[in-house]
């Protein structure tokens, strides 16, 4: 066994830039060896900065932390700066599309834990001139390590994230479910949908397959949300263009699209982001009224679990929202945190109002989740 020497105290430098070219190498390095969620990947955010940000007057802002001795990147915050109600607001690149807020960071960030206060003071200095830095949907762990944002998070959100660990064997997964009657119900739904024709659950891989899957996703979501009387983000420019760019990219792909076929009809779709052994589900849709009695959404999820287990298991991350079906599939609740830091005297009165507004919105989100559950 090798004997490790004493850990070096890391000295760090912090700077900020609105120029992607200045952080491109750091971003690539942290994607290669660091911890981050798919919502901070270049495959997700570069289209966001190009397509979504300009429509809302949001400009890129990147804060990086480097090891002073080696020059190696320790942390990168991919952010955006925009005007909101007369204030200059700094936030994560999101505007309603990113389910998690977290930095990209090297494992060496753990060595800075005891100096978190000094680190975040420097980050705040780098963010100025601005009035507020706001973040939310902050998971406690990123890639198995503590999320550095927890050092400045001040409250728990009113909704959670949910995920389930998938073993390498489907029988082991089934045996671990608390509600065995749910498995029997899934079996009945699978038999019912199989009675309509040959059933296939496949990942869309080729460009033509991904195009058809994405178009089906948009069509089915539009019909479902019109029925519910809810706003559909895929019908608002520029969001459809953004999701389409991510889903159909031929470059560094992070999106995964799955389709449930009965015969030649797509009766369910699942869209999400994959990184390593984790799949983060973003959207799922079902076909029209002809298929409701077959519960194609649950059937597709059941098939997705088998598909991921066949790949070796890992984590199925249902991401944000407290819909009860997640618990039925064995998912475990993960708390989400939020925070807001004042960067100027103008931002201080906004802090109280911001917390109050977010608390109200959290209760509304929980109500929406319950409404979705009632209409699944």
59: its two tokens = 């400009």
Tens digit of each residue's pLDDT (9 = 90 or more) over 217-236: 999 999 989 888 888 999 98
158-210 confidence digits (pLDDT tens)? 999 999 999 999 999 999 999 999 999 999 999 999 999 999 999 999 999 99
User: Is pLDDT above 80 for 1?
Assistant: no
pLDDT, position 16:
97
Q: Is the pLDDT of residue 363 over 70?
A: no
**pLDDT value at position 94?**
96
Cis preceding-peptide flag for 129 (omega within 30 of 0): yes
CA atoms of 165 and 316, how far apart (whole Å): 6
Residue 166 φ/ψ, nearest 5 degrees: -105, 125
3-state secondary structure the chain: CCCCCCCCCCCEEEEEECCHHHHHHHHHHHHHHCECCHHHCHHHHHHHHHHHHHHHCCEEEEEEEEECCCCCEEEEEEEEEEEECCEEEEEECCCCCCCCCCCEECHHHHHHHHHHHHHHHHHHHHHCCCCEEEEEEECCEECCEECHHHHCCCEECCCCEEEEEECCCHHHHHHHCCCHHHHHHHHHHHHHHHCCCCEEEEEECCHHHHHHHHHHHHHHHHHHHHHHCCCCHHHCCCHHHHHHHHHHCCCCCCEEEEEEEECCEEEEEEEEEEECCEEEEEEEEECCHHHHHHCHHHHHHHHHHHHHHHCCCEEEEEEECCCHHHHHCCCEEECCEEEEEECCCCCHHHHHHHHHHHHHHHHHHHHHHHHHHHCC
Residue 88 scores a pLDDT above 50:
yes
pLDDT of residue 371: 35
Could you tell me the domains of the chain?
Answer: 12-157+335-374 (3.40.630.30), 162-333 (3.40.630.30)
- The reply to whether omega before 320 is within 30° of 0 (cis) is no
187, two tokens: 């079996």
317 φ/ψ angles, rounded to the nearest 5 degrees:
-100, 110
Average pLDDT over the chain, rounded to an integer: 89
């Amino acid at each position: 066994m090798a004997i490790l020497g004493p850990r070096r105290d890391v000295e760090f430098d912090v700077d900020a830039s609105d120029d992607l070219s200045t952080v491109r190498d750091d971003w690539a390095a942290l994607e290669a060896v660091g911890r981050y969620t798919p919502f901070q990947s270049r495959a997700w955010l570069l289209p966001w900065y190009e397509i979504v940000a300009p429509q809302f007057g949001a400009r890129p802002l990147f804060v990086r932390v480097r090891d002073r001795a080696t020059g190696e990147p320790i942390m990168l915050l991919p952010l955006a700066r925009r005007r909101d109600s007369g204030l200059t607001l700094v936030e994560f690149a999101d505007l309603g599309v990113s389910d998690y807020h977290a930095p990209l960071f090297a494992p060496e960030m753990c060595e800075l834990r005891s100096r978190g206060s000094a680190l975040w003071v420097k980050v705040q200095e780098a963010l100025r001139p601005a009035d507020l830095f706001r973040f939310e949907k902050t998971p406690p762990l990123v890639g198995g390590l503590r999320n550095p944002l927890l050092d400045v998070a001040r409250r728990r959100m009113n909704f959670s994230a949910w995920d389930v660990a998938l073993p390498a064997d489907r029988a082991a997964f089934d045996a671990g479910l608390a509600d065995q009657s749910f498995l029997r119900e899934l079996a009945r739904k699978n038999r019912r949908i199989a009675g309509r024709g040959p059933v296939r659950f496949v990942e869309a891989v080729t460009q033509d397959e991904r195009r058809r899957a994405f178009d089906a996703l948009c069509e089915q979501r539009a019909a479902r949300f019109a029925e519910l009387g809810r706003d559909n983000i895929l019908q608002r420019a520029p969001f459809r263009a953004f999701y389409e760019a991510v889903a159909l990219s031929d470059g560094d792909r992070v999106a995964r699209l799955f389709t449930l076929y009965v015969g030649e009809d797509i009766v369910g779709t699942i869209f999400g982001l994959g990184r390593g052994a984790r799949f983060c589900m973003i959207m799922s849709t079902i076909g029209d009224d002809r298929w409701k009695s077959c519960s194609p959404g649950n059937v597709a999820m059941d098939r997705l679990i088998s598909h991921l287990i066949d790949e070796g298991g890992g984590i199925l991350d249902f991401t944000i929202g407290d819909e009860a079906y997640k618990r039925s599939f064995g998912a475990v609740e993960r708390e989400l945190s939020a925070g807001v830091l004042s960067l100027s005297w103008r931002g201080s009165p906004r802090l109280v109002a911001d917390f109050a507004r977010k608390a109200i919105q959290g209760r509304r989100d929980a109500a929406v989740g319950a409404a979705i559950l009632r209409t699944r």
